[in-house]
Amino acid sequence: MSKKVITHWRDGMTFDAEINGHHLLMDADNEWGGQDKGPRPKPLLLAALSGCSGMDVVSILAKMKIPPYSFRMEADADATEEHPVVYKTIRFSFYFEGEALPEDKIKKAVKLSTEQYCGVNAMLKKSAEVIVKIYINDLEVKI
């Protein structure tokens, strides 16, 4: 299945990417000739990772009929210093809040996403170490 993104240069360092009819502005900061009209391209990889895995986890937990919970992810990365500058380590943390959350099912959902289903994770793991952590009600869970 082919995917297509059309990206137009607007001005300066601003680019407008059209993705499935949605528009996303990307820009550099002032130091690099931009006007800070949008995010930088590389951090969008971390957003894509979070979105991909988050959709998996929410879907899997819905099928498991998990009680109501809140959920967020944090992804931060260390980059190389030489060009091309790439992410070498990505720390990807899943945070769940709620009452009587089943640790085993949450671990299973996160592992299924990060080890089997999320294509963004699979692509990033080919060039960076992805370290996954899970927290339930602020306590780290052993994976």
Do residue 33 and residue 95 come from a single domain? no
The per-residue pLDDT for 143 is 87
Do residue 80 and residue 120 come from a single domain? yes
Task: Report pTM.
Answer: 0.94
Do residue 45 and residue 35 come from a single domain? no
Do residue 14 and residue 75 come from a single domain? no
Which residues, other chains included, contact 123 with Cβ-Cβ below 8 Å and sequence gap of 6+?
Answer: none
Instruction: Specify the number of domains making up the chain.
Output: 2
Q: Residues in the chain with pLDDT < 70?
A: none
The per-residue pLDDT for 22 is 97
The phi-psi region of residue 40 (left if phi > 0; otherwise alpha if psi is between -120 and 50; otherwise beta) is beta
Do residue 72 and residue 2 come from a single domain? no
User: Residue 7 belongs to what H/E stretch?
Assistant: strand 5-11
The per-residue pLDDT for 53 is 98
Do residue 33 and residue 4 come from a single domain? yes
Do residue 10 and residue 49 come from a single domain? no
Give the domain extent around 6: 1-39
The per-residue pLDDT for 115 is 97
The DSSP secondary-structure symbol of 86 reads: -
What does the pLDDT look like over 82-108, one tens digit per residue?
999 999 999 999 999 999 999 999 999
